[in-house]
Amino acid sequence: MKETSDQARVALAFALALLVMVGWYFLNPPKPQPAPGSASAQHAPTALTGAGAPTQADQPNQASESIVGASSTGANSTLAPSGPPAAASGEKNIVIESELYRVELSNRGAVVRSWQLKKYTDEGNPPRTLDLVNADLARQTGGWPLSLQLTDSQLESAANQGLYVVKASSDRGTESTESTIAAPAQVEFHWSDGRLDVTKTLKFDRSYVIGLETSVRQNGSPATYGVAWRGGFGDVTAFRAAAQTLVFDRRDGSVSTIASKNVGAPNQRNMPAEVPGAFEAAGIEDLYFAAAFLPPEPPQGQPVPDLLTLSARQATHTLQADGKTQQEILPEMAVGSTAPGPLALRLYVGPKDIDILKSVRPPLNGLVQFGWFGFIAEPLFYTLRWLYHFIPNYGWAIVVMTVAINMVLYPLKVKSWRSMQKMQKVAPEIRTIQDRYKKYSMRDPRKQEMNKEVMAVYNREGVNPMGSCLPQVIQMPIWFGLYRMLNATIELRHAPWFGPFHDLAGRDPYFILTISMAILMYGVQKMTPMTATDPSQQRMMTLMPLMFTGMFFLIPVSSGLVLYIVTQNIMAIIQQWHLNRTSPLKAPSVRSKKQMTRAALTK
């Protein structure tokens, strides 16, 4: 077996690391919590008590458990009624609109039927205004955002199917529910069957945060309940949308997420399970957007209290894809209070924009997770955003940032060049040593003698075998950090460059950049001296650009990352051309070859 050069090892490690990183990102959402029921899961959901869990076939006529395991009280209780019945005569939709959103409410259940973010579009072709509610899933399961979650399934079904009386108002006075209402506005829903009395009040502002006040009374007494986000969440047209949808909570300043496969009660995932503890915030998110339930905002200077409880369950969505019936698992969640009674909440529904999330109390910028390479990804993001103030195009900002990074790393390039020169000088001597030991297998102890001789030559000439690989080693974490940043920040989502490059966070649409990358990598390789002495290793290094290109064809890598690599290779060609002119390599002298032969014979 042939000895692999250090340059070949680094290139292989680079390719494998990139492949592992991308594969891990797609197969494992960030920071999943332990599966419920496991021995080590201190933060895992626990099954709730009460009415039996509903199945998908039973919904919407059956409902789920309360988020706090209070005892169930049947619908036929003999206690005093809550008040006179109150119900609307027919179903109607109410639309609230601002510059940021368009929300469609229904008086059947007092739920959300559509929540559009007007500044964002989905991944569809053609793209449409982004709607965060998965209406198809909601119709299948009968669960919509802002549904109620009660202990008794019959009561829950009644509350979520009742026709509520609607009143709308604003600072302009009473508003008609027959036409679109401009925010700021308030919409109040009320329904009662004489024993169960429900009131919901939604207060819409011009921001992404709304006020939500709910009251549920059963037979005149406060009931224990939760407010749920059902009907899916996020951009349903995005790549692997279901896998990117997570339940999250915030406690002690830290955000934790729960993957779909881990929500719900053990062995019965469509049954709600409570997540132990009380939280500052809880909600549901996808890669770029979030819906976060928050306690009332405290006075300035006081911390946000941990008042919320959280439960979650799975919902199964049946859909048709490529003529086949498929099922996908999506999470649903609900929040409640640590004590029975009316529930006052704030609800953030909007983009995971770092500046906006920081302005919320408590701050929610922890929802933007940069992963293992956050110490690189986050500075790269802030550098790009700073450049964007002067160059209002993220594509050209990436180009400028790449040029700046390569200029900063140029002294290391020069050092690597000096190391290559030294390695090129001793290459014939190293090849002679390797030829003498090539008949031995890699496991033969005599191979150790070869390594000692090679290292002795390096030490004599002052050669660092890893010195020529230093620029590549430093670029690796930059690649990884940029890759993660492009897939985590909404500022880069749908950010155009020019021409066909309309989404730097998306895939290279026609592989123009990817093919350019392969050509430029091959050019850099031809201009750079090969430190590998074995012909098979040299052939492998020659094929490395094709390996990377093939990998980028198969894996959906962000075009912004490919743009960075293309610009990096253009800079490498310019810098290598300059080094070849100013410090060309010198061919080994005949005398040095004779000396090497004589030295080899004396060993």
Domain boundaries, the chain: 6-24+377-601, 31-69+81-368
Distance between CA atoms of residues 8 and 10, nearest Å? 5
Quick one: DSSP state of residue 589? P
Quick one: DSSP state of residue 492? G
Long-range contacts of 207-210 (CB under 8 A, 24+ apart): 207/100, 208/100, 208/101, 208/348, 208/349, 208/350, 208/351, 208/356, 209/294, 209/346, 209/347, 209/348, 209/360, 210/346, 210/347, 210/349
Distance between CA atoms of residues 81 and 219, nearest Å? 5
* DSSP result, 76-107: T--SPP-SS-B--SS--EEEEE-SSEEEEEET
**71 CB neighbour count, 10 Å cutoff:** 10
Answer yes or no: are the C-beta atoms of 319 and 300 closer than 8 Å.
no
Is 203 strand, coil or helix? strand
User: What phi, psi does 452 have (nearest 5°)?
Assistant: -65, -40
Answer yes or no: are the C-beta atoms of 151 and 71 closer than 8 Å.
yes
**324 CB neighbour count, 10 Å cutoff:** 7
Given phi > 0 = left and psi -120 to 50 = alpha, else beta, which region is 142? left
**For position 54, what pLDDT does the model report?**
40
The two tokens of residue 96 are 């609230």
- Structural Rg of the chain based on CA atoms: 31
At 179, which helix (H) or strand (E)? none
Question: Which amino acid is present at 375?
Answer: F
Q: Burial letters for 512-545: b for 16+ Cβ neighbours within 10 Å, e otherwise?
A: ebbbbbbebbbbbbeebebbbbbeebeebbeebb
Alpha helix (H) ranges present in 167-262?
241-244
Answer yes or no: are the C-beta atoms of 309 and 147 closer than 8 Å.
no
Distance between CA atoms of residues 3 and 576, nearest Å? 28
From start to end of 322-469, where are the E strands?
324-337, 343-351
Cα–chain center distance at 225: 31
339 contacts: CB under 8 Å, gap ≥ 6:
none
Q: Which residue has the tokens 């941990």?
A: 306
Distance between CA atoms of residues 403 and 327, nearest Å? 46
**For position 249, what pLDDT does the model report?**
96
Is 65 strand, coil or helix? coil
Cα–chain center distance at 212: 28
Cα–chain center distance at 366: 12
Cα 599 to Cα 430, 447, 462, 595, distances in angstroms: 12, 19, 18, 6
CA nearest 289: which of 493, 506, 486, 138? 493
476 contacts: CB under 8 Å, gap ≥ 6:
14, 17, 18
Cα 124 to Cα 127, 236, 492, 501, distances in angstroms: 5, 9, 17, 16
User: What phi, psi does 144 have (nearest 5°)?
Assistant: -125, 160
Burial class (CB in 10 A: 0-12, 13-18, 19+), 368: buried
Strand-pair category, 129-131 with 273-279: unpaired
β-bridge partners, 397: none
233 contacts: CB under 8 Å, gap ≥ 6:
132, 133, 134, 245, 284, 285, 286, 289, 291, 330
CATH for 31-69+81-368 (2.60.120.260, 3.40.50.300, 3.40.640.10, 2.70.98.90) = 2.70.98.90
Provide the sign of the torsion angle of the four alpha carbons 550, 554, 559, 561, taken in this order: negative
**For position 213, what pLDDT does the model report?**
97
Cα 94 to Cα 87, 109, 165, 186, 187, distances in angstroms: 16, 13, 12, 11, 9
Averaged over successive runs of 10 residues, the pLDDT of the chain (603 residues) comes to: 48 55 49 39 45 38 34 38 84 96 97 97 93 94 95 93 96 91 96 95 96 95 94 91 93 92 88 92 96 93 90 89 84 90 95 96 94 91 96 97 94 80 77 81 79 83 68 84 93 94 92 92 82 62 78 87 95 90 65 49 48
